[in-house]
Amino acid sequence: MGVIMKKFICGKNSVLDAIENGIAIKMIYTSKPHLIKKINSAKIKVVKNSFLNSLTRENHQGFIAEIAEFNYFNIDEVIIDKPNIVLMLDHLQDPRNFGAILRSANAFGVKHVIIPKNRSVKMTPAAAKVSSGGYVGIKIIRVNSLINAAEKLRKNSF
């Protein structure tokens, strides 16, 4: 396991997807208590919209889930898992594009995505929301150098 980062998932459907996919949720904040019926969780706090707006600038639709953590993985996970497909992304800056790529990658069965640590997007609430739960089950690996990562994978029969 790698670096741990505090995260929020924004939007009703994204929060529901997180619950359905077993993502560890610390707390669900909502300003729409009449829609809580669909969520069976004791970790729900009814708050004002101003509180939700203070947590994020994303379009939260009255729902924000605080997830326990987001773990980036090490390149060795790829070598251990031996997937058929590994997706490497370079100089990707826009978290919404990253989320869309993760959603598509998930649909095509990609389970390992490698991104550089520098000059690249990180997993953000915007990326999580746009991915529509597509990041669930994908190991996102951050490396210092994509060239070195590709060479390491090549030396390990990739």
List of E strands, 11-154: 25-30, 44-46, 63-71, 87-88, 112-116, 139-143
Q: Give mean pLDDT, residues 139-154.
A: 95
110 burial via Cβ count (<10 Å: 0-12, 13-18, 19+):
buried
The confidence score (pLDDT) of residue 42 equals: 66
The confidence score (pLDDT) of residue 40 equals: 64
Closest CA to 2 of 142, 146, 124: 142
Cα–Cα distance list, 27 to 15, 35, 75 (Å): 11, 16, 31
Q: Give the pLDDT confidence of 105-145 residue by residue, as tens digits.
A: 999 999 999 999 998 998 887 787 788 778 878 999 999 99
66 phi, psi to nearest 5 deg: -90, 115
Q: Give the pLDDT confidence of 79-88 residue by residue, as tens digits.
A: 999 999 999 9
For the whole model, what pTM was predicted? 0.72
